[in-house]
Amino acid sequence: MKKFGPFGVKWLKVIHIILVALFFGGIMSSSFALNYGITLATFDETFETYKRIVIISDQIVRIGAFGTLLVSFIYGSFTNWGFFKQCWVTVKWILFTIQTISHLFLSFLHLLKDTSA
């Protein structure tokens, strides 16, 4: 299988950094919205905060997580790092895959509230 050259690896790193920034930034902004500056005194404020956090999770965190997962597949396949060359890369790969897939299934739970009786 053909490997990426230095130019391809550089662009792959740039894309990876951007996607990780989206992923981490989305998580941090959700945490900030939940913990600071927002009073949850009334139902309306609580519901608005919940809707904002769901939007951040669905549109920013999910794009960053799945983009990072896709880039890591490409990085492992088309560079000399591979998937199992280093032990810490293997552990990181397994944990991130489990986290991303579980977020995929758990993130749809807010849609099920409309179907319950």
The reported pLDDT for the residue numbered 89 is: 78
Distance, CA of 98 to CA of 100 (rounded, Å): 6
- Domain limits of the chain? 6-110
Distance, CA of 75 to CA of 35 (rounded, Å): 36
Q: How confident is the model at residue 86 (pLDDT cuts 50, 70, 90)?
A: confident
44-82 tens-digit pLDDT: 888 888 888 888 888 898 899 889 889 988 888 888 877
What DSSP character marks residue 59?
A: I
Dihedral, CA atoms, 85, 61, 26, 37, nearest 10 degrees?
-140
The answer to whether residues 26 and 57 touch, using CB atoms and an 8 Å cutoff, is yes
Q: How confident is the model at residue 35 (pLDDT cuts 50, 70, 90)?
A: confident
The reported pLDDT for the residue numbered 37 is: 56
